[in-house]
Chains A and B, each alone.
Chain A
């Protein structure tokens, strides 16, 4: 596997981590109820969406530049 493929795998795991942290923050917010956890959940989910968009753009750009064949 090349660095391009490994980078996409890495972005997938990073996205899963961001989603996991978001769910963790929601869970803590429901049990403790501090606003900081709600903020953490929103930031985490936004980061997850950002990583997904980045991953798609990265794949398309590598393909366009013929660095992914």
Chain B
């Protein structure tokens, strides 16, 4: 049975069916991501001074991923234009580039960015113990400069068993530069290039810690939002890549020989979805990495 309105427009809507379908779907996606972004903004506005983690993400890697996604949006449009001009060879080249961009984005995210967070540790110090750890927090220096105080000591946890063993009374942390040299004016702002953990070890007594964990979703509202939104976005990127892979299988090329306009319309719909996913990242990047 022939499915109607895959190429020609319906008289009542003036559009072919899949285009209406994708815009309805994208409208629901706007509500989904809009809700998550709103939740993030309100959580952040509600956080007290010094309580919201900042400068913990790798900005150069995030910038590279942003450039990759922008490039993939260009290649997907070029793939569609090649189909409209009935140039199958160019279509294959541009679609392959789009898939490669999507896969590269996911590989960077899942094999580098996320695992880097899982290896990091942070301990929020109780209010009455902040003075005891002044050498790592440098709050007097920040107060003089009118900056928000630090309450968290971060780095690489040496004794990971301390997280679960109540008999171990302290955490041993190889400090991040910001806590190893907290009065250095260069540490007053986040760094564009992430600095590696230092050799300086700090011992923090558990009774002085309000809350401590690895950089997992349960670490803070910040990381819960970060992993939820980037995870959901990553799932969308994966979905888009799978659809593009389907556009490159022999069945799609048979469709091209039979009805090239139908394949062009399919690529357009998938391309609209891909543009939306990339547009979401345009908002994710400054919100999480820069601000």
Contact = CB atoms under 8 A, between A and B. Distances in A.
B275 A3 contact: yes
A3 B192 contact: no
Given A20-B286, A65-B81, A65-B84, 15 more contacts: A2-B268, A3-B268, A6-B275, A10-B275, A10-B279, A10-B282, A13-B279, A13-B282, A14-B282, A20-B290, A21-B286, A32-B189, A51-B70, A65-B85, A67-B81
Nearest to A47: B67
Nearest to B81: A67
Interface string B244-282: 000000000000000000000000100110011011001
B1 interface: no
Contacts of B81: 62, 65, 67
B285 A3 contact: no
A28 interface: yes
Contacts of A45: none
A34 B77 contact: no
B270 to A, nearest CB: 9
A26 B86 CA distance: 46
Interface of A: 1-4, 6-7, 9-10, 13-14, 17, 20-21, 24-25, 28, 31-32, 34, 36-37, 40, 47, 51, 54, 58, 62, 65, 67
Contacts of A17: 66, 282, 285-286
B63 interface: yes
A23 to B, nearest CB: 10
Contacts of B80: 3
A69 to B, nearest CB: 12
B153 to A, nearest CB: 22
Given A2-B268, A17-B66, A36-B192, A7 B73 contact: yes
B128 to A, nearest CB: 32
B272 A6 contact: yes
Contacts of A31: 189
Interface residues of B, number: 29
Nearest to A14: B70
B3 interface: no
A9 B26 CA distance: 15
Interface in B204-258: none
Nearest to B15: A2
30 contacts: A1-B23, A2-B19, A3-B80, A3-B268, A3-B271, A3-B272, A6-B272, A6-B275, A7-B73, A10-B73, A10-B279, A13-B282, A17-B282, A20-B286, A21-B286, A24-B290, A25-B192, A28-B189, A32-B186, A32-B188, A34-B192, A36-B192, A36-B193, A37-B192, A47-B67, A51-B70, A58-B77, A62-B81, A67-B81, A67-B84
B192 A40 contact: yes
Contacts of B271: 3
Contacts of A36: 192-193
Contacts of A6: 272, 275-276
Interface string B71-101: 0011001001100110000000000000000
Contacts of A32: 186, 188-189
Contacts of B84: 65, 67
Given A3-B77, A32-B189, A10 B286 contact: no
